[in-house]
Structure formats: C-alpha cells, structure tokens
C-alpha cells in the first residue's frame, strides 16, 4: 500500500491537469481510515444472523430502512487494514467470508471503537453489505450505525470499507467499491480537500497523484496514466465520477476509473479511486 507523498512524476504525466493542485496524496488506505493495528475484541449487540445479503439496503439495523443517502448527503467512511482470509470459509463461488466475530473486531480496530456489533458474516464478494454499529468518534463516545462493504486494495489484498450511514450507499457507489474485478486506493489529500467541488482538470491531477503514490509499493502499482475525468467531484454526494486512464505500455488501452469522495473518520479528507480489470476472478 502507498506510503509518503505524491511524486513529481504524477504531476508531469497528468493530461489536462491544472497548474495548482488542490491537494497532495499523502497516506495509505489504512491511514486514511484512522485505523490501528490492534483493537480486536468481542462485539456487543450483534445479532446471531448469518451472512450479509447482496441487495441494496440488505439486512437489518437499529435505524432500519433501505433507502440510500439522498444527493447532498456526505458519507463518512473508514477503510480497514488488509484482512487475513487465508483460513476463511468460502462461498460456493470461491469468495472468502469474514466471520461475524472477525468483522466486529475489524470494525473496532478500524475506528478505535468499542461495543461494536454486526448482523452477520461478510462475504468478500460483489454486492454484499452487512449492517453494523459501533461506539466511536473523536471521543469514542458516539454510537454510529454503519454498513460494511468488501473492497480489494491495490495489490490484491482484501479489506472492508465501513460507511457510516444506516441505509447504505447508492448502488453505483457500491459497484465502484467492488464489482469483482476492481481494486481501490483510499488516500488522504489534506485538511481542506473537497471543501469546494473538484473540477475535472484538477481531478485528473489529483487522481494521478494518488495512483503514483500507491505505485511506490511495486505490488500496488497499477501502471496507469489518467487522461480525463467527467467531474466535478462533490464531497457532499457519495456518487462516483468516471475518469479514464491509459495502461502504461499498452499502446493506448483504456481503463475506466471511478472516483468517490473520501470523508474519512479520524483522518483528513481525500479520495477513493477504483480501477477496473485489476482482479483476475
């Protein structure tokens, strides 16, 4: 996963970029989440339900409802450290399953929270989500409803994104997070990032800085040059903006990127960048 600051190489390669970047990619997915490496514990208030389901607004939560956030709603998120699934049970299609107790421990670790609960297991497969809750916040005293979503980090490591909304994220956002063949990078961009909509030319520059920072880890190098973004990216709408990139050395092969605003718990705001065709399933 990415470490350090964005390189000048990314700025030089950006196509259609503006001359004054609005932010600099600076940290990895786990740092963007404000997570710790420990924090395993038993969850309080979890139901004894089975696996999460693959429909929008699936499962149950104390808040109930199955309507995703309306336009104009900012969604707080946190991305876990990579999850070890070497010994995990598998779905019939071969996807690993994070057991309910392990999912609760990941939630508490990622948020520095306590008394977490989740409604079931989370298959690391497209379309799944599990309602959860945790007592977490700046003073670890606020009860928050959340939804857990599978993601695959750049480099192929599975992880969990928690969205702190009781009703789930829009289907377009869920597909951008994981559709079975994409990977994501979640990275901070600085304290003022996203206060105003990020215009397309600037978004090209910022997405490329995220990709190039990730590439400092060879295992997480997508080898892409961003060429355009539809933009603008509005932090108050958890909806993906489509960008395009060329695969380095491919003679112009185009890869679709989907970019979501990263309003990260316990961390500075940034970007969640998803690249198609990175996972061989």
Does residue 64 lie within any of the structural domains? no
pLDDT per residue rounded down to tens, the chain (281 residues): 332 333 333 333 333 333 333 444 444 444 454 433 333 333 334 444 566 655 433 333 333 344 555 544 689 999 999 999 999 999 999 999 999 999 999 999 999 999 999 999 999 999 999 999 999 866 657 899 999 999 999 999 999 999 999 889 999 999 999 999 999 999 999 889 999 999 999 999 999 999 999 999 999 999 999 999 998 999 999 999 999 999 988 888 899 999 999 999 988 999 999 999 876 53
Does residue 62 lie within any of the structural domains? no
- The range of the structural domain enclosing residue 232 comes to 8-47+71-275
Does residue 61 lie within any of the structural domains? no
Does residue 144 lie within any of the structural domains? yes
Does residue 66 lie within any of the structural domains? no
Closest by alpha carbon to 207, among 10, 2, 9? 10
β-bridge pairing 76-79 and 158-163: antiparallel
Domain count, the chain: 1
The CA-atom distances, in angstroms, between 123 and each of 46, 90, 150 are 17, 8, 7
Q: In this structure, what DSSP letter does residue 96 have?
A: B
pTM over 0.75: yes
Whole-angstrom distance, CA of residue 234 vs CA of residue 252: 29
Does residue 60 lie within any of the structural domains? no
Query: What end-to-end distance do the CA atoms of the chain give, in Å?
Result: 21
Does residue 39 lie within any of the structural domains? yes
Does residue 232 lie within any of the structural domains? yes
């Amino acid at each position: 996963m990415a470490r350090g600051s964005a390189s000048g190489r990314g700025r030089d390669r950006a196509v259609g970029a503006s001359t004054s970047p609005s932010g600099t990619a600076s940290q990895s997915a786990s740092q963007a989440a404000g997570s710790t490496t420990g924090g395993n514990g038993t969850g309080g208030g979890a139901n004894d339900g089975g696996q999460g389901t693959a429909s929008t607004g699936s499962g149950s939560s104390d808040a109930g409802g199955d309507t995703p956030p309306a336009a104009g709603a900012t969604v707080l998120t946190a991305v876990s450290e990579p999850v070890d699934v070497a010994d995990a049970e598998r779905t019939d299609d071969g996807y690993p399953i994070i057991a309910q107790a392990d999912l609760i421990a990941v939630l508490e670790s990622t948020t520095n929270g306590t008394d977490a609960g989740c409604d079931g297991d989370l298959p690391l497969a497209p379309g799944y989500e599990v309602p959860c809750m945790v007592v977490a916040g700046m003073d670890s005293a606020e009860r928050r409803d959340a939804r857990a979503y599978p993601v695959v980090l750049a480099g192929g490591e599975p992880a969990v994104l928690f969205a702190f909304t009781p009703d789930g994220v829009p289907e377009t956002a869920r597909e951008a997070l994981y559709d079975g063949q994409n990977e994501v990078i979640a990275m901070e961009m600085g304290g003022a990032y996203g206060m105003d909509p990020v215009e397309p030319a600037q978004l090209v520059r910022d997405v490329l800085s995220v990709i190039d920072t990730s590439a400092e880890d060879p295992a997480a190098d997508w080898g892409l040059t961003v060429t355009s973004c539809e933009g603008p990216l509005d932090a108050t709408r958890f909806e993906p903006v489509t960008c395009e990139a060329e695969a380095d050395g491919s003679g112009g092969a185009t890869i679709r990127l989907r970019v979501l605003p990263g309003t990260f718990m316990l961390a500075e705001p940034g970007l969640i960048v998803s690249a198609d065709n990175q996972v061989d399933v």
